Amino acid sequence: MSDYSVGQFAMIPAGTQASVAPATPRNVPAHGGEPNPSAAFLVAKFGDAIVRSWVNCGETNVIVKVEAIHDVIQWLNEDHGQRYEYLVDVTAVEYRDAGRPLEVVWHLRSLSFLRFLRLKVELPTRGPLVVPSVMDIYSGADWLERECWDMFGIKFEGHPDLRRILLWESYREGFPLRKDFPLRGRFSRAEQLKQALAADPEARYSMEELTIAEAFDSLPEDMRSRLAADKAAGTEAFGE
């Protein structure tokens, strides 16, 4: 059975472009160290759009202005000298210090050059939390961005189907990973129980949910009013 380690079609071996053989990192300094060469390329290419970059625990962090982040990621993905073909993660960080901006974080990996890059966008916590979606570049961003919306309330503009993923769609307590969200939830246990008992789980097992957008007008009156009420109540609770 040893023959299937040899690919029949264009097999993509990782690290073909890497200059040094990968090794376990040792004695990684907390600050400083060898930066990822892509950071310098980014500064040369995008100039002012790159706010700053630094190395922390051996990883290069680059802070990008929110207007440029989509272009930056697209360029990193498409440029033959960079080849960040793998989107590892999309997430966000909110600090305990209320004055610090919220950060949206993209972890990118170049399988050809064996590089790892962390891109960040800073958003003021009180302002609108809107960043462009990278789903047109990486289809794997779909659920990661939905989770980020679900947990932090960050809107990914251009995402075709941005709705809650881990929590249910009528969840009204807000965004759990925000620092102003208490560990036990916003509502009292009594209120949570009341809502759970009032929920109609059967309503979620229907054709209506599949084709909600296109079939809305042809739904029966009671279903339509229920959905409209859900929507209105949901947006009110999110403070929009």
Partner 1 sequence: MSTRTVEVELKTTQLDALGNVVRAPLVVTETGGALTGDSSQFASASLAEPGLESDHMLINIGPQHPATHGVLRLVLELDGETVVRCIPHIGYLHCGFEKIGEYRQYNQIIPWTDREDYLNSMGNNVSFVLGCERLFGIEITPRCTVLRVIAMELSRIMSHVVWVGTTAVDIGAFTPFLWIFQERENIYNLLEGWVGARLTTTGTRVGGMAADIPDGWMEGLRSFVQGFHRTLDETDKMLTRNAIWSGRTVGLGVLTPSDAINTGMSGPMLRASGVAYDVRKDFPYLDYETYDFDVPVGRHGDVYDRYLVRMEEMRQSCRILEQAIQRLPEGPVNVDDPRVILPPKHKATSEMESMIHHFKLVMEGPRPPAGECYVATESPKGEKGYYMVSDGSAKPVRWRIRPPSFVNLSAIPKMVEGHLLSDVIAINASIDIVMGEIDR
Q: Which residues bind partner 1 (CB under 8 A)?
A: 1, 4-5, 7-15, 21-31, 56-59, 61, 85-89, 91, 93-97, 105, 107, 111, 114, 116, 118, 138-144, 147, 151, 164-168, 176-177, 181, 183, 205-207, 209-210
For strand 155-157 and strand 130-132, is the pairing parallel, antiparallel, or unpaired? Answer: parallel
Residue 186 has φ and ψ, to the nearest 5°, of -80, -40
CB of 150 to partner 1, least distance (A): 8
Residue 15 has φ and ψ, to the nearest 5°, of 75, 20
- Is the Cβ of residue 71 or residue 173 nearer to partner 1 in the bound state? 173
- Is the Cβ of residue 198 or residue 210 nearer to partner 1 in the bound state? 210
The answer to whether residues 93 and 102 touch, using CB atoms and an 8 Å cutoff, is yes
DSSP 176-227: TTSTTS-TT-SS-HHHHHHHHHH--GGGGSSHHHHTHHHHGGGS-HHHHHHH
CB of 96 to partner 1, least distance (A): 6
CB of 16 to partner 1, least distance (A): 10
DSSP classification of residue 5: G
- Is the Cβ of residue 31 or residue 126 nearer to partner 1 in the bound state? 31
- Is the Cβ of residue 69 or residue 142 nearer to partner 1 in the bound state? 142
CB of 221 to partner 1, least distance (A): 22
